[in-house]
Amino acid sequence: MERKIIHIDMDAFYASVEQRDHPELRGKPIAVGRAEERGVVATASYEARRYGVRSAMSSQKAKRLCPSLIFIPGRMDVYKAVSRQIHEIFHEYTDLIEPLSLDEAFLDVTHNKPGMELAVDIAREIKQKIRDQLNLVASAGVSYNKFLAKIASDYRKPDGLCTIHPDQALDFIARLPIESFWGVGPVTAKKMHLLGIHNGEQLRTRSLAMLTHEFGKMGNVYYDFARGIDLRPVEAVRIRKSVGCEHTLEKDISRRSSVIIELYHVAVELTGRLERHNFKGNTLTLKIKFHDFSQITRSTTRPQELHTLDEILPLAKQLLKEVDYEQHPIRLIGLSISNPHEEEAKKGVWEQLSFEFSDWE
């Protein structure tokens, strides 16, 4: 039986919740985030997006693009509560739900609770219930696998509903810009362009050997996607694989004493999160973002599990010695623990992804 997969993506979720709850903001360009010099846009309303304002953009750049932009402090507790209401609607149709974040999820409706034959009818009902019950707008994509369902949900945003049938998939993929493929970021897209690959049709002409030579394991993924193949199941539960935190600094720093102090604060927060999640792992990763927004990571793996400050901080300092920051001031410092023992991994279940507003400051 052909699988029936739906991808639901809430349109400008945080901003739409704010405009719903504050009628005076409706129709105006708003950004959820902080307007300070080091602030970052979490979500922008569609009125703001017309000016080029986008998620993860610095607040200063957003204000230059849209001088009338209104910044709204985030209310994560509210967004989480609304997300739970959305999932209650999902559960009316299936329990095979894979959340990707607070505002998007995959649903496998191959065998659905109402016994509906067409997945597009389920997607249409879900969109309408979200509008009627929550006064919010969602876009939906329908297809036979996760890759194509995700592509479909982005195709006609906002308030979109798009179905990619199996007999249409190859033609649809052929026209798809390479930047729209899952797993193709700016760096990979640039490499694809240098190889003469600009769309799905050109990707499909490349051999598996060539793609794996150029892109490693991801070459297999690109080869399959170009042919409409994605066998990944919709996973209702995910194993937690890492715990981390990061701080964007108020000012760029390059003095060793200042960097060590900030590293200590991040390590303290990380150990607190590890304790709350009852998580231990064997790999510590240091992430550094420089003043020009370039970034590097350094990792070390130890035979013993890492979860206390006395274990983590000395290793973090060792990793920091591998970073040249005297001539490249630091903007952001992050630490994470990963690679849990198998028995520990089985204990951890997936938690909905959400930004920490403190990290946007």
Q: Which residues are catalytic?
A: 104
What are all long-range contacts of 121-124, with beta carbons under 8 Å and residues at least 24 apart?
Answer: 122/6, 122/93, 123/6, 123/8, 123/161, 124/161
* Burial annotation 313-337 (CB, 10 A radius, 16+ → b, else e): bebbeebbeebebeebbbbbbbbbb
Crossing angle, helix 76-90 and helix 13-21, to 10 degrees? 100
Q: Contact at 8 Å (CB) between 240 and 351?
A: yes
Residues in the chain: 361
| Phi, psi (degrees; rounded to nearest 5) at 315 | -65, -40
And the tokens for 76? 């994560």
User: Going edge to edge, which strands form the sheet with 41-44?
Assistant: 41-44, 30-33, 70-72
> Tokens 């998580």 correspond to what residue?
279
Contacts of 117 (CB under 8 A, 6+ apart): none
Q: Contact at 8 Å (CB) between 211 and 183?
A: no
DSSP string, 47-107: HHHTTT--TT-BHHHHHHH-TT-EEE---HHHHHHHHHHHHHHHTTT-S-EEEEETTEEEE
Q: Strand 5-10 vs strand 138-143: parallel, antiparallel, or unpaired? A: antiparallel
Closest CA to 83 of 156, 45, 154, 134: 134
